[in-house]
A and B are shown apart, each in its own frame.
Chain A
Amino acid sequence: ETGVTQSPTHLIKTRGQQVTLRCSSQSGHNTVSWYQQALGQGPQFIFQYYREEENGRGNFPPRFSGLQFPNYSSELNVNALELDDSALYLCASSHRTQAGTDTQYFGPGTRLTVL
């Protein structure tokens, strides 16, 4: 069974640039959630994707957007990067049924630094 993978591991961008982060979900999972973890803080929910549609969003501006593909992998896109976007971005996959969503399993994260 393949776990959750994320790419790239590290990324350095400058203010105003755009970035795309990628996540491959664990085998058998159909739901992907994205979290932002600033230094010294707990992860903050950005949004969740299920069946290629956004299924819930946290308190993040529209310049944070995402996609989910038919194979359940996902992308997180951030436009007009700001210094405060520097953080560890975590992807979590889970399996959703009519009864609800099972436990979320996390990838290793992408460390984004905005200069």
Chain B
Amino acid sequence: AQSVTQLDSQVPVFEEAPVELRCNYSSSVSVYLFWYVQYPNQGLQLLLKYLSGSTLVKGINGFEAEFNKSQTSFHLRKPSVHISDTAEYFCAVSPSSDKLIFGTGTRLQVFP
């Protein structure tokens, strides 16, 4: 069975600072990896995904993530955050891009 651990429930950061949101997964098979963002009172928006190939994945809004198979991690990074990045971020895994298994989320709070 697969599972996802998001190590930080909340990450406070000042505007224009870099940020990393951590995600570790557990799986006995190859998986696809995703990051979604959820703004208040909205659904989930896909930030980026890793299916295969290059382990560094570029997404929307300046975010990127690196797949590390040996550490079973898929951490999300942004070099300079904006106030508008304040949201809930979810890491998810899927053995076949069918059923998505989500972590519990990380609340990114960007302060001016």
Q: Write the residues of chain A forming the contact surface with B, with a CB cutoff of 8 angstroms.
A: 4, 6, 33, 35, 40-45, 48, 55-56, 58, 90, 92, 94, 100-109
Contact = CB atoms under 8 A, between A and B. Distances in A.
Contact of B97 (A35, A41, A100, A109): A100
A104 B4 CA distance: 18
Interface string B31-51: 000101000001111100100
Given A48-B98, A56-B98, A103 B44 contact: no
Contacts of A107: 43
Given A103-B49, A105-B46, A108-B42, A42 B90 contact: yes
Given A35-B100, A40-B105, A56-B98, 12 more contacts: A6-B43, A33-B99, A45-B101, A55-B98, A56-B99, A90-B44, A101-B96, A101-B98, A103-B34, A103-B49, A103-B97, A104-B46
8 contacts: A4-B43, A42-B92, A43-B44, A56-B98, A58-B99, A90-B44, A106-B43, A107-B43
B46 A103 contact: yes
Contacts of A94: 97
Contacts of A6: 43
Interface size bracket, B side: 20 to 34
Contact of B43 (A55, A90, A101): A90
Interface of B: 4, 34, 36, 42-46, 49, 90, 92, 96-105
Contacts, number: 60
A78 B98 CA distance: 22
Contacts of A48: 98-99
Given A103-B46, A108-B42, A43 B97 contact: no
